[in-house]
Structure 1
Amino acid sequence: MNTELFIAKRIYKGDKKNEKRVSSPAIKIAIAGIALGLAVMIVAVCIIIGFKKEIREKVVGFEAHIQITAFDNNVSYEYNPIAFSDTLARKLLSHPEIRHIQGFISKAGIIKTDTDFQGIVLKGIGDDYDWSFFKKNLIEGEVFTANDTSTSNPAIISKTIANKLRLKLGDSFTTFFVQDPVRARRFIITGIYQTNFEDYDKLYVITKKDIPAKLNDWDEDMVSGIEVLVNDFNKLDEVAQDLFFEMSHYKDRLGNALYVRSIKDINPMIFNWLSLLDMNVWVIIILMIVVSGFTMISGLLIIILERTNMIGILKAMGARDFSIRKVFLYLSAFLIGQGMVWGNVIGLLLCFIQKTFHIIKLNPSIYYLSAVPIDMNVLYLILLNLGTLIVSLFMMIGPSYLVAKITPAKSIQFE
């Protein structure tokens, strides 16, 4: 029988009348401190993970995880062509971490209406394109298929471009392409998307790949680049490095050396900014644990003082200091556990309400999102709870040494 655990349970649960022995207001404040601290940490972690996930998905949705282009490209939106052969496709798909590949052709142009104009990047896609991102963010119309002949020049534009140029679903517009000679194409709007990522929304117009290919006088297998999607974003750097060395030895039929870049290399500022958010989470977690820990330390000291008489009796009966300290450490674990239960209930409830009803709104022009995002990752929540429990119990070890300062002769008469 674990005597220390038995005594701790009796102190925590109370007597047969179910009167709580641990009922001091200071103890309740300590439990509330643990609950509030854990709830704040859960909400903070869920928000940061959700924010990083949403922003990352938007960037990847436009430019994929990895891009393969010609090595001698400049920094414009128009790339030198590479040949996308079946041999190259099989070589890429043989990598176990790659789930999808797709060719694209990008071409800069200017949309001109009767009253306005807007510089855009026309992105041509083929039958192999993964529409999941745009289907998620489409607010009007529908996506097209590359072999659909019902609309000769379909285009999916953003709500930002549509509002600026006063266009709506079903309207047509003319785009001019600066080349020798200057060419123009007329497109029909078949869909309107909105991602709230202003840098991309004001730029990209999606259409069939054969339209920019004909403008460039390219062959059927020629593309601006190849977009690669991986299974696990956490392995992106590893996959990009492997492909970089594999493609460095590859030459297409045009004699191009291929250049591999991950989305982190293409948009370093965005991903460096997202990495800085991790520091904010750590600051919040450390502050909350410290505050919760000190409130719990105060509570434990009060419990020890309230139980001075009991400590003296146990010592007089031959109990060692280590054994008595274990009693109060067990009791601390019960109180911390109670606080953590309430913390999880409050934190997860707040996250669920925000995730379901989007109560707290954001300015999309600043945060790229219309509401505070939430992502309740089970693994992170488990680690957060374990970390809180371990650190809190570790902080209880110091105050428990107060037991050694209590002498039986004086403490048995203590009231």
Structure 2
Amino acid sequence: MNVPLLIARRYFSSKNKRNIISIISNISMVGVAVGTMALIIVLSVFNGLEDLVRTLYGKSDPDLLVSAVKGKSFETNEQLLNRIRATPGVALLTEVIEDNALLQYHDRQMVVKLKGVSDNYFAQSHIDSAIVEGDHRLTRNEEPYALIGAGVQHELSIAIDNKFAPLRLLYPRNTGKKTLSMNPETAFTEQSIVAGGVFLIEQHIDDSYIFVPIDFAERLLKYGTRRTALEVKVGESRQIEDVQQDLQKLLGADFHVYNSDEQHVSLLKAIKVEKMFVFITFTFILLIASLNIFFSLSMLVIDKKKDIAILMAMGATSRTVRNIFLFEGAIVAQVGAIVGLTLGILICWLQQTFHIVSMGMATSVVDSYPVKMQLSDIILTGVAIVVITITVSIRPALTASRFALRDNL
């Protein structure tokens, strides 16, 4: 029989506790419960945001992206492309030319990200599932079409499939001079293309990107055999990490091979850092809420002086007395933590299932706040509560174990 735990349970459930001690203990449990619930909910929201970012960018991001270490483009040839295609696990290779260009439509204009892709692009990208108007195909009856973001369409009021009002794309000519000619005909190369479809993925992409066939981009940008990136789709037979390592060894130090997370490392890192600081902040809030445990235990120690003296007279050691009050603090924190964890998990489950809390924005790509519970967050919260409980309980417990037997009988 664990005597300290038995006595601590009796103290916790005793109806004879003085009223003020009971009130402070109840406040402690409520504070721990609310803090634990809030911590679980907030961490789950950050997990949901991280998953949302991966989902949104996953519609346009490749499994692996090959880019040059120096410069924004690199020379390609069939030998290089065939070596990449022959790498085990490479299911599809897409050539990409991406650069800024000036887009004009009627009397309006804006700078856009022009992305020229080869014909097999939509075999590895899920952007076709994000089409809100028109068709995703970039070539129809051997004629080039552009796929534009919803923000670009809204900014320039672009009509879809209007061959009488095509888009005009301009790119500065590389004349070797430091100054740009004031004559548009000699300063820019120009190509016209019809807008064939509109996509809605994520605001940054929607507000700036236009997809065109790669041969159209070659003519406009004068890139020739140079490419800004190669996008790789990995087959199901191999892990992405293994193919990434093989390609990095094949291409050498002149190239970077990025996986999906590394393509948006800054954004994902920002979410993780913010989640860490939120966890630290809420842990301090839990610590402040748990200070009530310190005060209730301190008052309980004073109230139970005679009980402690009797236990010591009966042979109880200082360690036994100390453990009684450590267990008492642990029980108060444990009850609050269990209630908080239960409520937090229930609220997150309701949000995941019924989408109760909406984003409150008509233009949002999701209707409700994304939530994703992770076992690691629950375990981390539990560990934090254990550490906090020991921290606030140890001083009253040590005080109780040092009472002089002679003065309290």
| Distance of aligned partners of 1:327 and 1:272 in 2 relative to their CA distance in 1, 3 Å threshold | closer
Q: In terms of mean alpha carbon deviation, does 291-300 or 334-343 score higher?
A: 291-300
| Distance of aligned partners of 1:25 and 1:132 in 2 relative to their CA distance in 1, 3 Å threshold | farther
Counterpart check, 1:205 vs 2:210: yes
| Contact 2:100 2:114 (C-alpha < 8 Å) held by counterparts | yes
* Deviation of the 1:144 alpha carbon: 3.3
Which residue of 95, 106, 125 corresponds with 2:98?
106
Aligned equivalents of 1:358, 1:261: Cα separation in 2:
35
| Contact 1:104 1:227 (C-alpha < 8 Å) held by counterparts | yes
| Contact 2:66 2:257 (C-alpha < 8 Å) held by counterparts | yes
The match for 2:126 is: 132
Counterpart check, 1:359 vs 2:393: no
The match for 1:299 is: 296
Which residue of 45, 63, 81 corresponds with 2:43?
45
Q: Secondary structure at the match of 2:301?
A: helix
Counterpart check, 1:379 vs 2:376: yes
Which residue of 152, 158, 164 corresponds with 1:167?
158
| Contact 2:41 2:348 (C-alpha < 8 Å) held by counterparts | yes
| Distance of aligned partners of 1:304 and 1:120 in 2 relative to their CA distance in 1, 3 Å threshold | same
| Contact 1:49 1:374 (C-alpha < 8 Å) held by counterparts | yes
| Distance of aligned partners of 1:395 and 1:360 in 2 relative to their CA distance in 1, 3 Å threshold | farther
| Contact 2:321 2:401 (C-alpha < 8 Å) held by counterparts | no
| Contact 1:82 1:224 (C-alpha < 8 Å) held by counterparts | no
Counterpart check, 1:324 vs 2:317: no
The match for 1:315 is: 312
Aligned equivalents of 1:33, 1:163: Cα separation in 2:
49
| Distance of aligned partners of 1:108 and 1:407 in 2 relative to their CA distance in 1, 3 Å threshold | closer
| Distance of aligned partners of 1:65 and 1:127 in 2 relative to their CA distance in 1, 3 Å threshold | closer
Aligned equivalents of 1:339, 1:299: Cα separation in 2:
15
Which residue of 385, 388, 391 corresponds with 2:385?
388
| Contact 2:114 2:211 (C-alpha < 8 Å) held by counterparts | yes
Letter in 2 for 1:44: V
* Deviation of the 1:263 alpha carbon: 7.7
* Deviation of the 1:291 alpha carbon: 0.9
The match for 1:158 is: 149
| Distance of aligned partners of 1:92 and 1:224 in 2 relative to their CA distance in 1, 3 Å threshold | farther
Aligned equivalents of 2:135, 2:296: Cα separation in 1:
61
> What is the 5 A alignment of 1:186-265?
186-197=193-204, 200-213=205-218, 223-228=227-232, 244=248, 246-248=250-252, 258-260=255-257
Letter in 2 for 1:301: S
Aligned equivalents of 2:269, 2:134: Cα separation in 1:
34
The match for 1:254 is: none
| Contact 1:70 1:82 (C-alpha < 8 Å) held by counterparts | no
* Deviation of the 1:168 alpha carbon: 5.2
Identical residues among aligned pairs (%): 16
Letter in 1 for 2:336: G
| Distance of aligned partners of 1:45 and 1:111 in 2 relative to their CA distance in 1, 3 Å threshold | same
The match for 1:11 is: 11
Letter in 2 for 1:132: H
| Contact 2:99 2:114 (C-alpha < 8 Å) held by counterparts | yes
Aligned equivalents of 1:159, 1:42: Cα separation in 2:
36
| Contact 1:169 1:192 (C-alpha < 8 Å) held by counterparts | no
Q: Secondary structure at the match of 2:107?
A: coil
Q: Secondary structure at the match of 2:326?
A: helix
| Distance of aligned partners of 1:56 and 1:3 in 2 relative to their CA distance in 1, 3 Å threshold | same
| Contact 1:105 1:209 (C-alpha < 8 Å) held by counterparts | yes
Question: Structure 2 regions of 5+ residues with no counterpart?
Answer: 174-187
* Deviation of the 1:279 alpha carbon: 5.2
Counterpart check, 1:176 vs 2:169: yes
Per-residue CA deviation, residues 74-108 of structure 1 (Å, 9 max, x unaligned), is 4xxxx3442362321332737xxxx9864323254
* Deviation of the 1:224 alpha carbon: 3.5
* Deviation of the 1:174 alpha carbon: 1.6
The match for 2:182 is: none
Counterpart check, 1:281 vs 2:278: yes
| Contact 1:156 1:190 (C-alpha < 8 Å) held by counterparts | yes
| Contact 2:283 2:384 (C-alpha < 8 Å) held by counterparts | no
The match for 1:400 is: 397
* Deviation of the 1:384 alpha carbon: 1.9
Per-residue CA deviation, residues 41-73 of structure 1 (Å, 9 max, x unaligned), is 223323334344444655665555753234553
Q: Secondary structure at the match of 1:85?
A: helix
The match for 2:110 is: 118
| Distance of aligned partners of 1:302 and 1:268 in 2 relative to their CA distance in 1, 3 Å threshold | same
| Contact 1:107 1:212 (C-alpha < 8 Å) held by counterparts | no
* Deviation of the 1:373 alpha carbon: 4.4
| Contact 2:39 2:279 (C-alpha < 8 Å) held by counterparts | no
Q: Secondary structure at the match of 1:178?
A: strand
Aligned equivalents of 2:246, 2:230: Cα separation in 1:
16
Aligned equivalents of 2:394, 2:240: Cα separation in 1:
43
| Contact 1:40 1:288 (C-alpha < 8 Å) held by counterparts | no
Length-normalised TM-score, structure 1? 0.74
Per-residue CA deviation, residues 284-323 of structure 1 (Å, 9 max, x unaligned), is 1441242133222122223323333322222221111211
Letter in 1 for 2:378: L
Letter in 2 for 1:8: A
| Contact 1:61 1:133 (C-alpha < 8 Å) held by counterparts | yes
Corresponding pairs, count: 382
Aligned equivalents of 1:152, 1:309: Cα separation in 2:
95
